[in-house]
Amino acid sequence: MSGFELDVDAARWRRHVAATVEARRGLVPVIKGNGYGLGRSLLAMEAAAVGLGTIAVGTYAEVPGALASFAGDVMVMTPWRPFFTDAVLDDRVIHTLGRISDVADLAALAPSARVLLEGETSMSRHGLDRHELAAAVAALGDLRLEGFAIHLPLQAASGGPGRPGGNVAEAESWAAALETSQVDTTTLYVSHLTPGEVGALAARRPQLDIRPRIGTSLWLGDLGALSVRATVLDSHLVSRGEHIGYRQRAMPRDGTLLVIAGGTSHGIGLEAPKASSGAVQRGKLLAKGGLEAAGLSLSPFTIAGKQRWFAEPPHMQASMIFVPASVTAPEVGDAVDVAVRFTTATFDSINLR
Amino acid sequence: MTTPASRAALTVRPIDASEHLDFVRGRSSVSFLQTPAWAAVKAEWRGESIGWFDGTTIVGSALVLYRQLPKLKRYLAYLPEGPDIDWTDADLARWLTPMAAHLKAQGAFGIRMGPPVVTRRWHAGTIKQAIADPVLGSLSEVPADELDDTAIGVVATLEQLGWNEIPTTGGFSAGQPKFNFQLPLAGRDEDAVLAGMNQLWRRNIKKAAKAGVEITTGTRDDLAEFHAVYAETAERDHFTPRPLPYFERMWDAMTAEEPDRVVLYLAHHEGDLVAATTMVRVGTHAWYSYGASTTAKRDVRGSNAIQWQMIRDAMAAGATTYDMRGITETLDSDDSHVGLIQFKVGTGGEAVEYLGEWDLPLNRALHRGFTTYMRRRG
């Protein structure tokens, strides 16, 4: 224990990965970004270890690393663009195409490249309109079509406004469109469908080979196998009104000031827009007003069963945390639990135990 | 069209019927609703032929039908399946702006038109598969086999110029249908067209021949016989038949323009008339326009036989498109309209989507009043 670390109960974590691979036939593991906190190369090796032949990465920047650590095929989920300077043209790479002009451009640049066509779903992010499919097929030339991909919104099952039936209905509509289109493939890659939804879709579309692309629920599906711990590097008794830190802020009460490993470079204190925005959630945030009014905000470090307050904004590699005098503070060298958003966390070390 | 000289402003002015007909004859085809003769068919509307001029050269034409507002000297100007202008011109304003000015000067409070522009096409095989798929309920949900980006661009231009598309339900509007079914004939011979039909169509055509169904073309005097069968069909299929004089007026006006503009087909079996149809042709485009069949002797398949004769005659006359006209958008196998699509799909043709009908209000208050009036009228 020396810094900001992730401990993995390797046997338990691998059990979940293997069980997911077993339960979700044809899955393609998504290995992108920070590798869900575990690192992309570790995940690539785990994917190989459970016998998977294809992995999906987010961007072309992630392709060279994936090719180096994985012997199978590497699918790129961000659609190829002619202006990408880092696109890797390798026979193990499967490109995604979402615009007719891109199909024609890639066919000219790399005539025998392996490709997926992507349909534009209610995500409205990337992809072809269903009425463009024939033109896209015409533009394929000698490109090798390996499948069709759709990316659905997160909100599963319950239909949102304007989307009666939700993801399953939208996926089935695309499956039907694929079957009536000129797109000559029976492989459909889907994202963000529950196992039940994929099962229902596969049962209703037996001609299609439905392949789910899965990241979070594969790698982070059993959070109990993962624990994040940060080392207490220093501890100081402080009194009310004492000025501390870079910003020489006055402490609101007597207590202990802890210096703990883990700062902005680890992903601490970086806020993404909240996924949950319900009334209850907003109410909770308001209710935390007390110490926020004193200029403090809640940290992800848990001490004596409670999340504690930052004494000042997190530093690059460590954080200063205030613990009131009524609580027994941990000793220097002790580890404390940290709640992290794995997709933005970077660890000093990952320990498979 | 891109040389600077041709970018000069276009003028629009009335032309006489013979000038209009000359222009139509010089075109590959225009809709039969855009021929000068059609004005005579639509007696309750006042017709006017207009031309677009680049200097002294006529470059476009239209038949405008004026419908008077009750009690007011103000009109809706309607250009069914028109105007016949260069819809691929990126600068459509130079065509439509002088047209609107002219029609406004004629007392129009609003303009309605149906650009003869095809946006999407679906092949027979695609439609057949889509009908069989319970998830796909309408053509719009089925990937089109052909998509015309230029045509789709026209939508944005029309909206910029203040035109509004008239909403349709299921592809049926008060005006001309947005979705149509067409059998392409260009570069195909009879064997190829027959081979493109489904087995049921081929079998029924053979069956009719074997049963001794005879197809003949009729004269104006045979219209009464046609009309009797047509009235029977109307009763069976629950639509309101047009009176015989309507067909006689149509016959007189259209055959005066071209002797074979409209042709009456009669299918007899052992002396009994079992089916009767009309076919209209303008240049390379032939339309199956009205059809009727008796309830008796349906098993001799007069309908298939008469269609096949019309298709062969259209080919012989140099038509590149055999148009079976409107279909609904529905692919729902529980919808009664789907049978009509299935009948047409059996020819191996394609569904085409037009741009639809568009309105330009010139006087908002009157236009709104008219829209409400039409809606009440149903």
ipTM for the predicted complex comes to: 0.81
Distances in Å between the Cα of B142 and the Cα atoms of A98, A156, A159, A183, B68 are 18, 24, 22, 13, 40
A173 touches B: beta carbon within 8 Å: yes
CA distance B308 to B314: 10
CA distance A70 to A165: 38
Q: Do B135 and A172 touch (CB under 8 A)?
A: yes
Query: What pLDDT shows up at residue A342?
Result: 94
pLDDT class of B338 with cuts at 50, 70, 90: confident
B60: Cβ contacts below 8 Å, ≥ 6 apart: B10, B51, B52, B83, B84, B85, B86, B95
Q: Which residues of A touch B136 (CB under 8 A)?
A: 173, 176-177, 180
Helices (H) and strands (E) in chain B, counts: 12, 16
Query: What pLDDT shows up at residue B333?
Result: 78
Q: Which residues of B touch A180 (CB under 8 A)?
A: 126, 129-130, 133, 136, 142-143
Q: What is the CATH architecture assignment of A31-221?
A: Alpha-Beta Barrel (3.20)
Q: Contact B183/B194 with Cβ under 8 angstroms?
A: no
pLDDT at A156 over 70: no
Q: Contact B310/B278 with Cβ under 8 angstroms?
A: no
**DSSP 3-state of B235:** helix
Every domain range in chain A assigned CATH 2.40.37.10: 226-352
In this structure, chain B runs to a length of 378
pLDDT at A298 over 90: no
B333 touches A: beta carbon within 8 Å: no
Q: What is the pLDDT of residues B182-218, one digit of tens each?
A: 999 999 999 999 999 999 999 999 999 999 999 999 9
Distances in Å between the Cα of B78 and the Cα atoms of A118, B34, B68, B176, B356 are 42, 11, 11, 11, 13
Mean pLDDT value of segment B114-133: 95
CATH entry 3.20.20.70 includes domain A226-352: no
CA distance B229 to B370: 36
Which residue of chain A comes nearest to B130, CA vs CA? Answer: A180
List the single range of A173-182, B267-276, B368-377 with lowest mean pLDDT.
B368-377
Mean pLDDT value of segment A314-332: 94
Dmax (CA) for chain B in angstroms is 66
Q: Do B142 and A175 touch (CB under 8 A)?
A: no
B237 touches A: beta carbon within 8 Å: no
pLDDT at B287 over 80: yes
A292 touches B: beta carbon within 8 Å: no
List the single range of B63-77, B118-132, B303-317 with lowest mean pLDDT.
B63-77
CA distance A149 to A76: 11
CA distance A192 to A204: 18
A300: Cβ contacts below 8 Å, ≥ 6 apart: A268, A307, A338, A339, A340
Instruction: Name the one residue in this structure whose structure tokens are 């534009």.
Output: A120
Mean pLDDT value of segment B240-248: 94
pLDDT at B378 over 50: no
* Cα pseudo-dihedral A186, A191, A192, A193, rounded to 10: 10
Distances in Å between the Cα of B122 and the Cα atoms of A188, A330, B323, B346 are 23, 72, 14, 13
Q: Which residues of A touch B143 (CB under 8 A)?
A: 130-131, 133-134, 177, 180-183
Q: Do B135 and A130 touch (CB under 8 A)?
A: no
B121 touches A: beta carbon within 8 Å: no
List the single range of A269-273, B4-8, B25-29, B343-347 with lowest mean pLDDT.
B4-8
Average pLDDT of chain B?
92
A138 touches B: beta carbon within 8 Å: no
Every domain range in chain A assigned CATH 3.20.20.10: 31-221
